[in-house]
Amino acid sequence: MILEPLAATTDGTTPGDLPGPLLTELTALYASNHEFFALSGDFPDAYNIRPEQVATALADELAQPSAEVLLGRSEGRLVGVVVTLAHHPDPADPDPWIGLLLVDAQVQRTGLGRRLATAVETRFRSADRAAVRLAVLDNNPKALAFWTALGYQLVDHRKDAQLDRPCTVLRKPL
């Protein structure tokens, strides 16, 4: 598994003109996860995710301070995307966050999600971070089972800042 950062412009946003082949790969990966996006409501139509919507979503992610979008490749193929925050906007929260981890639906349940999560944890551990957090939508029991199987423990329940959705906050010491 290779993790490579998505290049950002100097103002921190995704270039408006992502190379066509990369945007095509990213759109296919996002579109393969229509079940997740139907739960999250992040796109108007989870069964018709378009390239310009993916480009906008990535630009919005990278507009946040300390955000990073990592592309997961296996055998040269894009198999996952991970969005991280090195510093949470709440200054009382010392931990970095995983904001999103998507694995191409065609290769889910093959260990790639675990490998992506482990690679991200290793990056944070290498940066001398003590733990990592994430929030799982309460209406997504599959994601909750995935993260708890990886050793993440419940630390809080709250609503997300963007869409006011109920979430379970998990934390894993590194």
Task: Tell me the per-residue pLDDT of 158-170, one tens digit each, with 9 for 90 and over.
Answer: 998 888 999 999 9
pLDDT band at 14 (very low <50, low <70, confident <90, very high): very low
Parse the chain into domains and list their residue ranges: 2-173
In this predicted structure, what is the pLDDT of residue 152?
98
In this predicted structure, what is the pLDDT of residue 163?
85
Classify domain 2-173 at the CATH topology level: Aminopeptidase (3.40.630)
Task: Tell me the per-residue pLDDT of 105-146, one tens digit each, with 9 for 90 and over.
Answer: 999 999 999 999 999 999 999 999 999 999 999 999 999 999
pTM for this structure? 0.91
Mean pLDDT of the chain: 91
Long-range CB contact pairs, 146-154, < 8 A, 24+: 146/113, 147/117, 150/114, 150/117
Whether the pLDDT of residue 95 is over 80: the answer is yes
Burial code (b: 16+ CB inside 10 Å, e: under 16) for 4-22 equals eebebeeeeebeeebeeee
Q: How far apart are CA 79 and CA 129, in angstroms?
A: 26
In this predicted structure, what is the pLDDT of residue 155?
97
pLDDT band at 17 (very low <50, low <70, confident <90, very high): low
Q: How far apart are CA 61 and CA 59, in angstroms?
A: 5
pLDDT band at 88 (very low <50, low <70, confident <90, very high): confident
163 Cβ contact partners less than 8 Å away, ≥ 6 residues apart: 41
Q: How far apart are CA 153 and CA 155, in angstroms?
A: 6
Q: How far apart are CA 158 and CA 169, in angstroms?
A: 7
Q: Are 89 and 70 in contact (CB under 8 A)?
A: no
Whether the pLDDT of residue 42 is over 80: the answer is yes
Q: How far is CA 61 from the centre of its chain?
A: 9
Q: How far apart are CA 57 and CA 63, in angstroms?
A: 10
Whether the pLDDT of residue 20 is over 80: the answer is yes
In this predicted structure, what is the pLDDT of residue 15?
47
